[in-house]
Structure 1
Amino acid sequence: MNTPSEPRTKRLTLVLRQLWQSVFGVADVGLSSSGGVARKSANWVPIRSLSPRHKPRIARHLRALPAQDRYLRFGYAATDEQIDRYVAGLNFTRDEIFGVFNRRLELVAMAHLAYSVDPQWATCAEFGVSVSPHQRGKGLGAQLFGHAVMHARNQGVSLLFIHALSENVAMLKIARHAGAAVQRDGSESEAYLSLPQATLDSQLSGLVQEQMAELDYQLKMQANQFRQWLATVQEIRQGVRDARHTSRGP
């Protein structure tokens, strides 16, 4: 006879196993919808929450965007000065800003989940994203969108809003694929995505992914520090060799 806690325990075990698969990209055996055996694997992208100390990296990422990408991201051809003002005005307390770092701790993609400041629209949020040109085609925009949707759900958001230029095909494709209703008004388009309520799955997924992304960031930081230390050691060794060679003379 099952105790009342057993169904919850089994569900928690299933959720954790799914999270393990999504985080580590490990293929595992599970039941398909038809009751047969299916194998599942996924590629995990470490998406980290950003804080005010990341402002310099955010500015470098946005400043490195070419003119057309700046136009698509902001809706106008943003200058370096306008980008700096945008970064300076980021509200890390109210909003959520996420980023993807490469192994050199360079910010290669970021998303801004802006929550409404109007109490009448407290359950609404707006999404914006940018990806470095050399990182295109890897699905980072879609990954950041999915991450933002999960966080928005967990914060009680019921409607996610995306304002984009109609020529921003990539962003609108991501929104449509997620089930958003897209309305076009000339050169601009607006997408609306209704979000379901948060669940145990979404809450646990947000917690685990945040912790794993932080671990990934710390490991990259340590690896970067080790490379810098190794370069310093090699430079010192080279200096010693040169000094010995000079002291021996011709």
Structure 2
Amino acid sequence: MTTADNALFQWVPIRSLAPRHRERAAQHLLALEPRDRYLRFGYAATDEQVRRYVDGLDFERDELFGIFNRKLVLIAMAHLAYAPEAKTPEQRRTAEFGVSVLKQARGRGYGARLFDRAMLHARNRGCDRLFIHALSENSAMLKIAANAGATVQRDGPESEAWLKLPPDDLASRVDELVSQQAAELDFRFKVHAHRMNRLMGMVRDVGDHISEKGRIASE
């Protein structure tokens, strides 16, 4: 199998999230294991703190990406954040990356895939640097950054990773456009399948109810 064939085989639908997905984002973060929530936020965030974080998400300024399973559960999510009050050209060209993956979805490379997508989007938005701030014990996150070529600096319990991004080009813009459209199509299929499963479940329930009434009537 060629590299291109392998990449196609391992394609993961990554969808941009919108304000209407805010509650899904909250449910995703609240479903994280305590250890995973600690690593994601850098502290043992309470449910209330998680809710405040989600309520403060700026979908106009930042970008959020998600991976949904067949049941439409948001199993992995990335946040590409830009400085709210960037004052220097350097700040305006830098984006910060954060990611979280539910326990049942770990080990599938979703964090790295979301990082790749974030890099692509940041490039196409004119950013030339990607920044990650993480706890030094968050080896998975730092490994993703290092594998992408980032410079990782450890300072006791905290670490920073900086990755220089190449400028956007026609290929990067087409790549993002195709990926986004394919992910949207995948999501629509999942929504349709989910609705059909619910409908079939309702039909089965009605059939079981009718059968039960007929059985009782014949006794």
TM-score (normalizing by structure 1):
0.84
Shift of 1:41: 2.2
How many residue pairs get aligned? The number is 214
- CA-to-aligned-CA distance 1:114-142 (integer Å, 9 cap, x gap): 01231311111000000001111100000
Shift of 1:39: 6.6
Aligned to 1:57: 24
- Contact 2:33 2:102 survives alignment (8 Å): no
Task: Name which one, 1 or 2, has greater alpha-carbon Rg.
Answer: 1
CA distance in 1, matches of 2:21, 2:28: 11
The CA RMSD measured in Å over matched residues stands at: 1.2
Instruction: State yes or no: 1:164 paired with 2:131.
Output: no
* Letter matched to residue 104 of structure 1: K
- Contact 1:180 1:194 survives alignment (8 Å): yes
Aligned to 1:5: none
Aligned to 2:61: 94
- Contact 1:58 1:87 survives alignment (8 Å): yes
Aligned to 1:201: 171
* Letter matched to residue 145 of structure 1: F
Q: Paired residue for 1:182, among 124, 134, 152?
A: 152
Aligned to 2:87: 119
Shift of 1:84: 0.4
CA distance in 2, matches of 1:77, 1:108: 20
Shift of 1:248: 1.1
Residue segments in structure 1 that go unaligned for 5+ positions in a row: 1-26, 29-37
> Aligned residues: percent identity?
54
Superposition misfits of 4+ residues, deviation over 3 angstroms: none
- Contact 1:116 1:123 survives alignment (8 Å): no
Q: Secondary structure at the match of 2:126?
A: coil
- Contact 1:49 1:96 survives alignment (8 Å): yes
The answer to which structure, 1 or 2, has the higher relative contact order (CA under 8 A, 6+ apart) is 2
Residue segments in structure 2 that go unaligned for 5+ positions in a row: none
TM-score (normalizing by structure 2):
0.95
Instruction: State yes or no: 1:73 paired with 2:10.
Output: no
Instruction: State yes or no: 1:222 paired with 2:195.
Output: no
Instruction: State yes or no: 1:40 paired with 2:24.
Output: no
